[in-house]
């Protein structure tokens, strides 16, 4: 069956909005049930968490397979999957396993040497969402801004979709180009080989590529919603998956009724010796934004209950109830990643799960525990938040913060001085701080947009002539923008001109409904 059938209308307008709200509710229930679940990870090296423990073999837990709905599809190496032959496993997430495969020449006319096939779980509702996400990506793939599409080539593309039969219904499969290892993989290499940081210019280039991808995506009307180093893939020529090892299914960890539906083996992805691996190089580094599972329409800010984003990369909006989650969460998350790439240190590290005395991960921490850690970290780093955010925290029922002892500017300056790489000049450090202050503004209404930030002076030193041309083309008003300004008529134009001379006023008040939507 084609994913197009019957789903066409659900991508837009009112139905899209309703679907999103229903999904948000489902995610709330999922989150609630999951935080209560205590899983036994003790007998294998499996790790169902999307941000695996450093010692994990990136092996999904066997409870993900078995009887009923919401389960993974058993996929075996060297098997035929659609028009492809499976050659390796690339990884897994909460709702899918991802496999590297070669197109079978007689069946597929795709030009790639190898593709990545994301095999989704068989839950009907999740499948519907996966279909919509694949459709959004396909739709975005066809979209052009008519100005050279600056940034678009730093997003993954969906080539095709199909269904494959599982024990309990069909599994939706999404085919993409096999890109390369995740950004996290390269951060781990940097940890082993250097002090955890990328070469300074490499870090800048990756950050620039991510912001350019996001500026294109935002202009197209969507937010990503889940940007972190596992969802950024680095293009590698002739990419081959990490070493795959077949592992026995650990039946002690399965329910008896699941046994008959387990695959004969599970495939672990084991990274080679990172001390020998090649780090990212300035000339070749090419980042691609992947996993659009949390993507949302810019005009429908939403509460994302299924929070897979590492907690330290979340913007303040996530902490507070009734504060809209807008596309500017992407700007914040990339800033956190950038700090890590430049300095080798986490800007804010919030533990995701409880650990036992041996460092083994136990179950997830509660949302309030996480917020109790995260908020003071943000306050310490960025200084006193606006009054309306202070009010929200004070009535949230979470641990009180001594606001009198906070400073207006926070410790960001001191942190940069302490963590900055040796080759960063004072002038560069000042630019870096300015870049961070703009991207980490407390109030999302003041945060720089992705389109603003790609023009920041901090990036100037790495821009090639080609980049500058592409950037200028993106900034030039398009014909339809010009026409729509004309259409808006005389009333709005004087207000806009007046706005140019107005000073930026600190918005102390809580956002109202009208503040949710960004005008473009
Ligand atoms: N196109 C690709 N090329 C290479 N590797 C890929 C590709 N797509 C996915 N992967 C690998 O598969 C892993 C899981 O993919 P992905 O994050 O899309 O799954 P998911 O189920 O949507 O995850 P989540 O639980 O975060 O939503 C990635 O971390 C990456 O290692």
419 in the same domain as 498: no
- For the entire predicted model, the pTM comes to 0.84
Least confident of 125-129, 302-306, 392-396, 478-482: 302-306
Residue 499 has pLDDT above 50, yes or no: no
382 in the same domain as 501: no
Residue 308 CA, closest ligand 1 atom number: 26
Tell how far the Cα of 515 is from the centroid of ligand 1, in angstroms: 34
**CB neighbour list of residue 303: distance below 8 Å, 6 or more residues apart:** 24, 28, 325
pLDDT (0 to 100) of residue 195: 78
Residue 360 has pLDDT above 80, yes or no: no
- Asked if 348 and 318 touch (Cβ cutoff 8 Å), the reply is no
386 in the same domain as 502: no
Average pLDDT over residues 92-111: 89
State the residue for tokens 């937010």. 223
Q: Which of 263, 297, 290, 272 is nearest to 118 (CA)?
A: 290
Q: Please give the full DSSP string across 392-423, using - where no structure is assigned.
A: HHHTTTS----GGG--SSTTHHHHHHHH--TT
Phi, psi of 118 (to 5 degrees): -95, 115
493 in the same domain as 388: no
The residue that leads in pLDDT, 88 or 350, is 88
pLDDT (0 to 100) of residue 355: 67
User: Is residue 6 one of the residues assigned to a domain?
Assistant: no
User: Is residue 423 one of the residues assigned to a domain?
Assistant: yes
User: Is residue 471 one of the residues assigned to a domain?
Assistant: no
- Asked if 83 and 183 touch (Cβ cutoff 8 Å), the reply is no
Most confident of 26-40, 362-376, 382-396, 494-508: 382-396
User: Is residue 473 one of the residues assigned to a domain?
Assistant: no
Instruction: List residues bridging with 80 in a β-sheet.
Output: 85
For ligand 1, pick from 86, 98, 185 the residue to mutate: most ligand atoms within 8 Å of CB. Answer: 98
Average pLDDT over residues 319-330: 86
Question: H helices of 318-397, where?
Answer: 328-343, 367-382, 387-394
Tell how far the Cα of 130 is from the centroid of ligand 1, in angstroms: 13
177 in the same domain as 253: yes
Around ligand 1, the residues with Cβ closer than 6 Å are 50, 90-96, 98, 116, 118, 156, 176, 178-179, 182, 230-231, 233, 290-291, 293, 308
Tell how far the Cα of 308 is from the centroid of ligand 1, in angstroms: 13
Q: Please give the residue range of the domain that contains residue 205.
A: 13-463
Residue 217 burial (CB < 10 Å; 0-12/13-18/19+)?
buried
Tell how far the Cα of 94 is from the centroid of ligand 1, in angstroms: 10
Least confident of 323-327, 342-346, 350-354, 436-440: 350-354
Dihedral (CA of 60, 62, 66, 68) sign:
negative
Q: Which of 35, 44, 158, 174 is nearest to 96 (CA)?
A: 174
For ligand 1, pick from 58, 90, 228, 296 the residue to mutate: most ligand atoms within 8 Å of CB. Answer: 90
Is 118 labelled a binding residue? yes
Minimum CA distance residue for ligand 1 atom 26: 93
407 in the same domain as 485: no
Minimum CA distance residue for ligand 1 atom 21: 93
For ligand 1, pick from 91, 99, 229 the residue to mutate: most ligand atoms within 8 Å of CB. Answer: 91
246 in the same domain as 102: yes
Round to whole Å and give the CA distance between 13 and 339.
Answer: 37
Tell how far the Cα of 28 is from the centroid of ligand 1, in angstroms: 23
490 in the same domain as 416: no
Tell how far the Cα of 482 is from the centroid of ligand 1, in angstroms: 40
486 in the same domain as 457: no
Minimum CA distance residue for ligand 1 atom 28: 91
Average pLDDT over residues 23-35: 62
Show the tokens assigned to 85: 């032959």
User: Is residue 3 one of the residues assigned to a domain?
Assistant: no
State the residue for tokens 């200084």. 383
Tell how far the Cα of 102 is from the centroid of ligand 1, in angstroms: 17
pLDDT (0 to 100) of residue 437: 97
User: Is residue 20 one of the residues assigned to a domain?
Assistant: yes
pLDDT (0 to 100) of residue 490: 47
446 in the same domain as 311: yes
Instruction: State the CATH number of the domain containing residue 407.
Output: 1.10.510.10
Tell how far the Cα of 203 is from the centroid of ligand 1, in angstroms: 22
SS3 label, residue 49: coil
Round to whole Å and give the CA distance between 448 and 75.
Answer: 44
User: Is residue 22 one of the residues assigned to a domain?
Assistant: yes
E-strand spans in 42-112?
80-81, 84-92, 96-103
504 in the same domain as 373: no
Residue 182 CA, closest ligand 1 atom number: 31
How many separate domains does the chain show? 2
Round to whole Å and give the CA distance between 513 and 516.
Answer: 6
Maximum Cα–Cα distance across the chain: 73
328-343 helix and 183-193 helix, angle to the nearest 10 degrees:
20
3-state secondary structure string across 277-293? CCCCCCCCCCEEECCCC
Average pLDDT over residues 78-91: 95
For ligand 1, pick from 118, 122, 127 the residue to mutate: most ligand atoms within 8 Å of CB. Answer: 118
495 in the same domain as 346: no
Tell how far the Cα of 91 is from the centroid of ligand 1, in angstroms: 6
Dihedral (CA of 331, 381, 194, 271) sign:
negative
Residue 120 CA, closest ligand 1 atom number: 21
**CB neighbour list of residue 474: distance below 8 Å, 6 or more residues apart:** 145, 147, 148, 150, 151, 215, 451
Tell how far the Cα of 290 is from the centroid of ligand 1, in angstroms: 7
User: Is residue 214 one of the residues assigned to a domain?
Assistant: yes
Minimum CA distance residue for ligand 1 atom 29: 230
SS3 label, residue 96: strand
For ligand 1, pick from 236, 237, 271, 290 the residue to mutate: most ligand atoms within 8 Å of CB. Answer: 290
ipTM: 0.96
The residue that leads in pLDDT, 495 or 365, is 365
């Amino acid at each position: 069956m084609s994913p197009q059938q019957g789903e066409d209308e659900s991508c837009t307008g009112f139905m899209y909005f309703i679907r999103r709200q229903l999904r948000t509710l489902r995610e709330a229930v999922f989150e609630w049930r999951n935080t209560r679940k205590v899983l036994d990870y003790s007998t294998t090296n499996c790790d169902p968490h999307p941000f695996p423990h450093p010692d994990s073999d990136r092996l999904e837990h066997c409870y993900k397979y078995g009887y009923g709905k919401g389960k993974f599809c058993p996929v075996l190496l060297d098997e035929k999957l659609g028009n492809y032959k499976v050659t390796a496993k690339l990884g897994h997430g909460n709702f899918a396993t991802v496999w590297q495969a070669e197109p079978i020449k007689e069946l597929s006319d795709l030009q790639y040497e190898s593709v990545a096939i994301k095999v989704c779980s068989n839950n009907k509702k999740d499948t519907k969402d996966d279909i919509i996400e694949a459709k959004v990506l396909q739709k975005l793939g066809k979209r052009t801004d008519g100005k050279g599409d600056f940034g678009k080539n730093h997003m993954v593309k969906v080539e095709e979709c199909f269904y494959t039969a599982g024990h309990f219904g069909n599994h939706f499969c999404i085919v993409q180009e096999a890109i390369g290892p995740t950004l996290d993989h390269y951060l781990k290499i940097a940890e082993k080989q250097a002090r955890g940081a990328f070469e300074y210019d490499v870090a800048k280039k990756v950050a620039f590529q991510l912001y350019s991808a996001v500026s294109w995506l935002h202009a197209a009307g969507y937010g990503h919603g889940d940007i972190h180093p596992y969802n950024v893939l680095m293009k590698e020529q002739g990419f081959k998956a990490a070493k795959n090892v077949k592992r026995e299914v650990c039946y002690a960890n399965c329910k008896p009724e699941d046994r008959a539906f387990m695959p004969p083996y599970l495939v672990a992805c084991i990274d080679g010796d990172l001390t020998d691996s090649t780090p990212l190089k300035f000339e070749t580094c090419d980042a691609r934004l992947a996993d659009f599972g949390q993507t949302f329409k810019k005009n429908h800010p939403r509460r994302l209950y299924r929070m897979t984003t590492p907690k330290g990369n979340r913007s303040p909006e996530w902490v507070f109830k009734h504060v809209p989650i807008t596309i500017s969460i992407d700007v914040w998350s990339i800033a956190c990643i950038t700090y890590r790439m430049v300095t080798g240190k986490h800007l804010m590290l919030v533990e995701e799960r409880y650990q036992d005395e041996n460092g083994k991960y136990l179950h997830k921490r509660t949302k309030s525990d996480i917020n109790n850690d995260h908020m003071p970290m943000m306050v310490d780093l960025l200084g006193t938040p606006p009054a309306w955010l202070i009010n929200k925290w004070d009535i949230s029922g979470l641990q009180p913060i001594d606001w009198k002892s906070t400073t207006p500017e926070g410790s960001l300056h001191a942190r940069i001085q302490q963590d900055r790489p040796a080759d960063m000049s004072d002038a560069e450090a000042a630019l870096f701080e300015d870049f961070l202050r703009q991207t980490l503004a407390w109030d999302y209404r003041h945060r720089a947009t992705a389109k603003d930030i790609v023009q920041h002076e901090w990036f100037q030193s790495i821009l090639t002539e080609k980049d500058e041309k592409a950037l200028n083309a993106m900034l030039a008003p398009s014909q339809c923008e010009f026409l729509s300004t004309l259409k808006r008529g005389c009333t709005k134009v004087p207000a806009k001109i007046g706005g140019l001379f107005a000073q930026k006023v600190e918005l102390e008040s809580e956002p109202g409904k009208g503040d949710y939507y960004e005008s473009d």
